[in-house]
Every structure is written in C-alpha cells, then in structure tokens.
Amino acid sequence: MIREYRKEDAQFYMDVGFNFSMLEVKEEHRGLFDDLLSPTHSFTCVVNGVPIGSGGVVPLWENVYEGWVIGSRLINKNKVYFAKSVKKGLEDLIEKLDIIRLQTAIKENFPTGFRFAEWLGMENEGLMKKYDIYGNNCYRYARVK
C-alpha cells in the first residue's frame, strides 16, 4: 500500500536501521527528514501496516525538483515491491507536477543507488565533490523531459 509520507516514517527508519549502513545519519541530523514532509510531493510504502521506505520530490524552482528515496532495512524482504512503488510514485509526481527536470545525488561509493537511478530513467551527470552534509562526494543523476 502507498500512503502519505509522515514525519515519523523517517524516524522509524532511523530507529530500525536504513537498508544500507552507509546511509545512516548522525543523531543531530535526524530532523533533516522532517523537511521532506509534503502530502502532495511524497509517499510511503507500507507492508502489513509497517512503513518500509519513502520517496518524493522537493521543488527547487519551476518544473525542477530534487528527488529523494529513503528505505529501512525492512525493504530487503520487499525489494521488488518497494522499487516498483517508488517508480510509480515518482512517475505520478512527474506527471502531476509537470516536472521537466528531476535530479538527485548519490554517494560515489553506492553502486546500488546508481543502478536504481538508472532504472528510474536517470543519467549520471558527473561528480560533485564534498556535496553532502558529511563532505562525501556524490554523483548528480537527472532525468530531463
């Protein structure tokens, strides 16, 4: 089932653990996920009443959005369902919001993230040095209409 993303979803993922340990965040940064809360721009995948992962978009400027996906370790038993749900959720948002450019950042040592972004129709646009809050290098992936 797909439902609105809720602030407590990300907190739950952090408590049970993300699907990849490299994605863990420090305690002082837990509130960053609260800013992703938008009923019209985000969604959560639920299995047996438990949230397993969420995704959505954040507007940057007209028709340009930053995409995001977070998943708990619980998606490991539901990978196909989660992947298909994210793909459908993003496709719905692209159509509803008339997104011309959807972009995201993926840590440089996260090949699973590269494959997932490419499966979602995104292309690698290059390395962004010291991009994230922890100073990690990330690749910019984008899908342009």
Q: Give the model confidence (pLDDT) of 7-18 as tens digits.
A: 888 888 888 877
Q: What's the distance, CA 125 to chain centroid?
A: 18
Q: Is 52 helix (H, G, I), strand (E, B) or coil?
A: strand
Contact predicate 107/138, CB 8 Å = yes
In the chain, where the domains are located = 2-144
Give tens-digit pLDDT for 17-48.
776 565 666 666 666 666 666 767 999 999 99
Distances from the Cα of 131 to the Cα of 15, 54, 109, 118, 135, angstroms: 25, 22, 13, 20, 6
Can you tell me the distance from the alpha carbon of 33 to that of 11, in angstroms, rounded to the nearest whole number?
8
Please determine, for residue 127, whether its predicted confidence score (pLDDT) is greater than 70: yes
C-alpha triplet 61, 82, 8: angle, nearest 5°: 70
Fold exhibited by the domain 2-144: Aminopeptidase (3.40.630)
Q: Which residue did the predictor score with more confidence, 54 or 27? A: 54
Average pLDDT over residues 68-85: 91
